[in-house]
Amino acid sequence: MSDWLPPGLFDYGAVLAVEIDRRLGTGVVGDAENWIEMPRHLDNADPATQPVPWGDGALCVDLGPDDAGTWERFAEVHRSETNPEAVAVAAQEWRLPVTPYRWLPAASAQRGGISAGGTVPFASGIDSGTSGAARAASGIDAVHVVDLTSMWAGPLCTELLGRAGAHVRKVGSVARPDGLVGTPMYDELNAHKTAVELDPRHPAGRRDLRELLATADLLVTSLSPRALANLELLPEQLRIHHPRLRTMAITAFESDSPERDWIAYGTGVHAASGLGWLSDEPQAPAYSYPDPLAGLLAAGVAVDQLAGVAPQHTRVSLAGAVAPLVGWATCGSTANAPTPAAASAGVSHG
């Protein structure tokens, strides 16, 4: 397994952790490294997805359990295409989680919307001492959250809310279980939640979910925009029955980027950001570090939403969450890393 992680990762995580603890209460997050290095300290790390050489570059082919056959057919059809960018676009049309490895100095000029802005993308730029954030911390035990997320980023966000006292209901089904079920990471990321068995793809499950949302303050999802639309969970669809419900969508890429509807996991975001190609050849990370960064970021945004100092509907992306690391890698130093006051990259309003 590769041991590579981007420079500034733990410093950045520590800044986010401090800001969240100011909002939710000291000790809710604690040591950010505990969350960022969960796969290592829980012995839950899978072998890193290695770069796949393709044409004049490389691809991150981060297949799910049902994708192998589709990928084989796709690769045969597109074998003559030598441009990894074009191959990644075509793969997304097949609903495959494939992204190009980008060379960092040119990353901001590529198709992606991952900027090298050098700011910490926290919440809506609200200072941590505002009365709104303080009200959210004091009243968190009255908050009801519906968690329609899986794996790492979304569950981390909602687990931190649960640890602060929020009532979190984790929605799942036997037919489509969370990919971490049965692992130590799953247990730690879902320790302060109530499990609810339902499948929103079916009418009965849809009705049960609507009942949960009727009493919820916040819905957190990690589904693709396409899946949210199919389940009638986009903000404009939810306004009909749940006009006061706050929503947060955790996605791979930003809402204003060409990749906004792409399917990708943390390793794919790492590849597309340029952070995976800082040396002579593309590198896989030790584990999917964009996920915990996005989870920490999302928890802070959620607190501001609940306090009424952030928009009712937000979208947090893994790509936006790693934007400061891209900026620091570009300038070659984290010495002048900014504080999170008034930063907004990685958070959009829906």
CATH number of residue 21's parent domain? 3.40.50
What sign results for the dihedral spanned by CA atoms 325, 326, 330, 331? negative
Single-letter amino acid code for the residue at 91: A
**What is the structure's pLDDT at 349?**
56
Question: Quick one: tokens of 51?
Answer: 């770069």
Q: pLDDT of 30-40, one tens digit each?
A: 999 999 999 99
Which residue, among 321, 322, 339, 344, has the nearest Cα to 19 in the 3D structure?
A: 339
Helix (H, G, I), strand (E, B) or coil at 219: strand
Question: Quick one: tokens of 106?
Answer: 């040119």
Report the b/e string of 140-174 with b at 16+ CB within 10 A: beebebbbbbbbbbbbbbbbbbbbbbbbbbbbbee
pTM of the model: 0.88
Q: Does residue 199 lie in a domain region?
A: yes
Domain of 179 in residue numbering reads as 9-349
Q: Does residue 338 lie in a domain region?
A: yes
Cα 302 from Cα 246, distance rounded (Å): 9
Q: Does residue 2 lie in a domain region?
A: no
pLDDT over 90, % of the chain: 67
Single-letter amino acid code for the residue at 295: G
Q: Does residue 345 lie in a domain region?
A: yes
Question: Hey, which residues does 172 pair with through a beta bridge?
Answer: 197
HSE-CB for 123 with a 13 A CA cutoff? 30
**What is the structure's pLDDT at 118?**
31
DSSP state of 74: H
Tell me the helix, strand and coil percentages in the chain, rounded to 5.
40, 15, 45
Q: Does residue 4 lie in a domain region?
A: no
Helix (H) or strand (E) holding 144: strand 144-148
* Backbone phi and psi for residue 191, each to the nearest 5 degrees, phi listed first: -70, -30
Cα 135 from Cα 122, distance rounded (Å): 18
Instruction: Find the distance separating the first CA and the last CA of the chain, reported in whole Å.
Output: 38
Cα 102 from Cα 108, distance rounded (Å): 9
Q: Does residue 326 lie in a domain region?
A: yes
Q: Give, in degrees to the nearest 5, the angle at Cα 127 between 311 and 322.
A: 70
Which residue, among 76, 123, 151, has the nearest Cα to 339 in the 3D structure?
A: 123
Give pLDDT < 70 ranges for the chain: 1-2, 105-138, 175, 332-350
**What is the structure's pLDDT at 214?**
95
Report the b/e string of 177-208 with b at 16+ CB within 10 A: ebebeebebbebbbebbeebebbbeeeebeeb
Q: Does residue 207 lie in a domain region?
A: yes
Q: How many domains does the chain have?
A: 1
**What is the structure's pLDDT at 105?**
63
Q: Does residue 3 lie in a domain region?
A: no
Question: Mutual orientation of helices 323-331 and 266-273 as an angle, nearest 10°?
Answer: 30
